[in-house]
Structure formats: C-alpha cells, structure tokens
Structure 1
C-alpha cells in the first residue's frame, strides 16, 4: 500500500502512463467530458473534492511544462483565477469553447467535484530531466 501521494489507484495508474507532451485536463463538475480521453471521475458531491485540492495533488506528482485555461475564469471565478495565476505565470488563456475543443485531445481527464464555473485547466506534461 502506498504511504502518501495520490492513493486513488485509477488516478495513480493513469498518471504513471503519461509521457512528455501529454495533456491532462483537470476540470469542474460542469465541464463536458469528450469521448476518447481516459477519465478519472473524483466527483463525490458538489464541491468535493475541490478543484484547488486536486490540482495541488496533481502538481505534486507531475512535471508540467505548460497550462491552458479559459479566459472567462478571470472575471467569473476569482478564486480559481488566483490559484491558476499563482501556479502558472505563463498560463495560456483561450476562449472556453476552444478549451473544450482542446480537451478532446487530452490523454487524461480528472473530473473534480468543483461547482464554481471555469475551474478547468489543461496541463501539458513535461519531463524531469
């Protein structure tokens, strides 16, 4: 049994399969989930688990070389904007419709229970060396 880190076996296994350049969408409960990418659905109840909690856990385990979010997050969800801006100084912002298009090419989608709008980010995996 793992001692720490991500304990969810489905999520831990999916993360272990990622490679350089793969996309991981961390999304709120309302984000449409496209057919194709592997999905690990962590949503339990509205707000549980929170977007911030899941993102922090993922960032502790992944090397991330870039991130993309919906430009609407700045004006609609200040808490998510502050979190994203703090983690990703070079965050790419695109219209929400474009983020939905890009999510179809993600290798993995991690759905949280977040119930505030535009709490979504598409991470691009890097390499540790």
Structure 2
C-alpha cells in the first residue's frame, strides 16, 4: 500500500502509463467526456472532490510542460483562473468549444466533482530530465 500521494489505484495506474506529450484533461462534473480517452471519474457529490484539490494532487505527481484552458474561465470562474495562473504563467487560452474538441486527443480524463463552470484544464505531460 502506498504511504502518500495519489491512493486511488485507477488514477495512480493511469498516471504511470503517461509519457511525454500525452494530454490529461482535468475537468468539472459538467464537461462532456469524449469517447476514446481513459476516464478516471472521481466525482462523488457536487463539489467533492474540488477541481483545486484534484489539480494540486496531480501536479504533485506529474511533470507538466504546458496547459490549456477555456478563455471563458477568466470571467465565469475567476477562482479557477487564479489557480491556473498561479501554476502556469504561460497558460494558453482558447474558446471552450475548441477545448472540448481538443479533449478527444487526451490520453486520460480525470473528472472531478467541481460544480463551478469552466473548471477544466488540458495538461501536456513533460519529462523529468
């Protein structure tokens, strides 16, 4: 049994399979999930777990070289915007519809219980060396 870090066996296993350039979508409970990517659904109740909690846990485990989010987040969800800006100074912003289209290229989708709009980010995995 793991002592710390991500304890969910499905999520820990999916993270171990990621490589350089793979995309991971971390999304709120309302984001449409495309056919194709592996999905680890962590949503339990509205707001549980939150987007922030899941993102922080993933960033502690992953090397991320870039991130993309919906431009609409800036006005519709300032808290999510501030969180992402704090982690990704070069955050790419695109229309939400384009983010939904790009999510089909994700290798992994991690669905949170977040119940605020536009709490979604597409992470691009990097390498540790």
**Secondary structure in structure 2 of the residue aligned to 1:20:** coil
After superposition, the C-alpha distances for 1:17-62 in whole angstroms (9 at most, x for unaligned) are 0000000000000000000000000000000000000000000000
Q: What is the count of residue pairs matched by the alignment?
A: 129
Residue 52 of structure 1 is matched in structure 2 by 52
Please, what TM-score do these two structures have when normalized by structure 2? 1.00
After superposition, the C-alpha distances for 1:93-121 in whole angstroms (9 at most, x for unaligned) are 00000000000000000000000000000
Residue 63 of structure 2 is matched in structure 1 by 63
Alignment of 1:22-41 (within 5 A): 22-41=22-41
Name structure 2 gaps, 5 residues minimum: none
Please, what TM-score do these two structures have when normalized by structure 1? 1.00
Residue 128 of structure 1 is matched in structure 2 by 128
Residue 103 of structure 2 is matched in structure 1 by 103
Give, in whole Å, the separation in 2 of the partners of 1:88 and 1:96.
18
Name structure 1 gaps, 5 residues minimum: none
Give, in whole Å, the separation in 1 of the partners of 2:4 and 2:86.
25
